[in-house]
Amino acid sequence: MIAARVTVTLRQPVHVGTGPLPDYRNPTHLHVPGSVLRGACAAVWIRRFGAPEPGTRHRAAFLDVFEGDGVFGPLHAPGGLPEPISVLKHKYRPGPGCTRLWWDRSRGETAEQCDVCQQRLEPAKGQIDEDSVVLARRARAALDTEGVAIDQQLFRKDVLRPGSQFTGWVSGPAVHAFESVDTLWLGGSRSTGGTTTVQIDPDARPELLERDGSRLILRLASPGIFVDAAGLPTDVPDTVELTAALGVHRVTINPQARWTRWAEAAGWHAASGLAKPTERVVGPGSTYVVECDTAPSDDAVRRLAVSGIGLRRREGFGALCPPLPAPTGSGVA
């Protein structure tokens, strides 16, 4: 397995847009999606070698790296992975004496309320904790052709602050996209921001996924795209794909041991100037308990950890979380 850990350090503010909201806000993703990382690497490649037009010298290599079996995984800040949807947590802020903050149903833990503060518990929604990411919010006004502020055209743009670090994995031919690359420009507004430095560690080993013998817990770190035999969206990964990836004879997913949330994902293909199709996806944090007929090898589990599951994995869809420690604390009054 060819894989490498990628770390980017922001030198300028980065805006990874999620699309403007109906009001004046223009938020940013709290991580770097794999599609953004892939696009930034492709832009560096094209500047260096030229556009991969038919018949050009570097076209075959470009297609192998960016359209082949390689995976550009999403990059997350430390502590910035999505909460598992299998987790139950306090509906509001924990009480001052609460030390337990998660009850994970994928591990057989369940409760209706906290034993300490008696507060009702509710399922997590797969969100990223904003406290794990340092944001800056900038209010701006739209300008006319004369450079004068337009009335009632105030908007706010959120950005990831310089100095922040985001880490993730690339695998297969995608690793070659980082050869001799030490700078990437991420997100939008790259004329005034988006510059990052890049470090790649080809010797790093992925963490093993959560497992207990032949039982694995798969948690999505990014949206997953799954389809059934008819090509229609489904919220269950393909067990045939998992069986082949894990090198076992049979994989099953208990319908009572999966916790999912539907979402939608769209995007923009900068090279063609066209919108990507809107996909019906399973949201980040969705969790599956997978039972194998035999215990998969450590190498197979590590390969799955970096390759992910489902469709469009080269764009970072279907990425998997490493083991997530349950948060603890003294609670908040």
Kindly state the average pLDDT of the residues 257-274. 83
Is 226 within 8 Å of 238 (Cβ atoms)?
yes
- Look at residue 33 and tell me whether its pLDDT is greater than 50: yes
Residue 194 within any structural domain of the chain = yes
Specify the pLDDT at position 148. Answer: 65
Decide if 66 is inside a domain. yes
- pLDDT reading at 153 higher than 70: no
Q: Lowest mean pLDDT: which of 85-89, 106-110, 221-225, 271-275? A: 271-275
| Residue 186, domain CATH | 3.30.70
Residue 73 within a domain? yes
Dist CA 127 CA 38 (whole Å): 23
332 pLDDT band, cuts 50/70/90, is very low
CA dist 70 and 174 (Å) reads 5
According to the model, what pLDDT value does residue 139 have?
Answer: 63
**Domain tally, the chain:** 1
87 domain-assigned: no
Q: Looking at the domain assignment, is residue 265 inside a domain?
A: no
Q: Is residue 70 part of a domain?
A: yes
Average pLDDT over residues 27-32: 92
State the SS3 of the chain: CCEEEEEEEECCCEECECCCCCCCEECECCCECHHHHHHHHHHHHHHHHCCCCCCCCCHHHHHHHHCCCCEECCEECCCCCCCCCCEEEECCCCCCCCCECCEEHHHCCCCCECCCCCCEEEECCCCCCHHHCCEEEEEEEEECCCCCEEEEEEEEEEEECCCCEEEEEEEHHHHHHHCCCCEEECCECCCCCCEEEEEEECCCCCCCCEEECCEEEEEECCCECCECCCCCECCCCCHHHHHHHHCCCCEEEEEEEEECCEEEEEEEECCCCEEEEEEEEECCCCEEEEEECCCCCHHHHHHHHHHCCCCCHHHCCCCECCCCCCCECCCCC
Give yes or no for residue 331 having a pLDDT over 60.
no
Determine contact, residues 306/73, Cβ cutoff 8 Å. yes
Q: Could you tell me if residue 234 is inside a domain?
A: no
Assign 330 a pLDDT band (cuts: 50, 70, 90): low
241: confidence class by pLDDT, cuts 50, 70, 90: very high
Per the structure, the complete domain to which residue 137 belongs is given by 3-80+131-201
Average pLDDT score over the chain: 90
Percentage of residues in the chain having pLDDT higher than 90? 74
Is 163 a domain residue? yes
271 or 273, which is more confident?
A: 273
Q: What is the pLDDT of residues 40-82, one digit of tens each?
A: 999 999 999 999 999 999 999 999 999 999 999 999 999 999 9
pLDDT for the residue numbered 147? 67
Share of the chain above pLDDT 70, in %: 91
pLDDT given for residue 220 in this prediction: 98
Average pLDDT over residues 85-95: 93
Averaged pLDDT, 270-274: 70
- Among 29-43, 169-183, 190-204, 307-321, name the one with the lowest average pLDDT: 190-204
pLDDT value for 95 = 87
Instruction: Give the lowest-confidence range in 2-6, 76-80, 149-153, 254-258.
Output: 149-153
Residue of higher predicted confidence among 141 and 32 = 32
Please determine, for residue 83, whether its predicted confidence score (pLDDT) is greater than 90.
yes
- Are 258 and 236 a contacting pair, CB within 8 Å? yes
Mean pLDDT check: name the lowest of 6-10, 159-163, 268-272, 314-318: 268-272
Instruction: Output the pLDDT for position 60.
Output: 95
pLDDT at 193: 85
